Amino acid sequence: MGIEVCRAVDRADDLDLVAMIDQGDWLFNASDASAQVIVDFTAPDVVMDNLHWCIDQGINVVVGTSGFTDERLARVKAWLAAKPEVGVVIAPNFGIGAVLMMEFAERAARYFDSVEIIEQHHPKKVDAPSGTALHTARLIEQARKAAGKPEMPDATTDEMAGARGAEVGGVRIHSVRAAGLVAHQEVLFGTTGETLTIRHDSFDRASFMPGVLLAIREVVQRPGLTLGLAPLL
């Protein structure tokens, strides 16, 4: 993913690639090269140190690393309070299609009696459901709560064990894992006599690059913490 991002930045006419930092390399390389923005696709155990250093140095950051709990986000905000001119964008998914899918799911939630999520991924994925599915379920839960929607209708009494997925905030998620798949998600809304389906298919990591470039361009004009790509669209 790191190399892919470097390539995308290098190809963009309005951006300059000034440093590539791999595992074991020093972050100083970025400040030495006068980087205005650092993009972090690392791992949950190092991302907080990276963020602290960048904010301290006054460098804006775009983060695609996962594992941000409410507590971690609070810490980032505290660091940013001391450096009000720095911008940080943390996003669970940089695919513009995925971001729109989540926005539309949140918007549609109040108008339908039922909604379930079917996420489909390659069989090497270790977590089920996917982070994007969990995030979508929470957005839907909040939108339904705000609109005063009652619990979804479900007469199931006779059940079996062994399904892959989850129930998050009253929203059922189905996690399909199969060879041949890449990364796909379907949000199915239903009410009397009709259904509305929003589906995102990602075939290639290249699909995340327009979103990463957008975040790089925007973060320099957005001091403070921005969560998700939605506010940038």
**Active site residue ranges:** 121, 125
Please check if 65 is assigned to a binding site: yes
Please check whether residue 135 is in contact with residue 230, taking contact to mean a CB–CB distance below 8 angstroms: no
Minimum distance from residue 220 beta carbon to a copy of itself (Å):
21
Cα dihedral 94→98→104→107 (10° resolution): -60
Of the pair 86, 121, the CB lying nearest a copy of itself is at 121
- Interaction mask 60-79, a copy of itself, x per CB under 8 A: --------------------
DSSP single-letter state for residue 58: T
- Interaction mask 186-205, a copy of itself, x per CB under 8 A: --xxxxxxxxxxxxxxxxxx
How many whole angstroms separate alpha carbon 189 and alpha carbon 172? Answer: 12
127 sits near a copy of itself (criterion: CB under 8 A): yes
Identify which of 123, 10, 70 has the alpha carbon closest to the alpha carbon of residue 18. 10
| Main-chain dihedrals φ then ψ at residue 173, nearest 5 degrees | -120, 135
How many whole angstroms separate alpha carbon 190 and alpha carbon 88? Answer: 37
Query: Interacting stretch for a copy of itself, rule CB under 8 A, among 33-41, 53-61, 127-135, 220-228?
Result: 127-135
How many whole angstroms separate alpha carbon 143 and alpha carbon 225? Answer: 22
Pick one of 41, 68, 79, 112: the residue that binds a copy of itself (CB under 8 A): 112
24 sits near a copy of itself (criterion: CB under 8 A): no
Binding-site residue ranges: 64-66, 91-94, 122, 131-132
Binding positions for (S)-2,3,4,5-tetrahydrodipicolinate: 122, 131-132
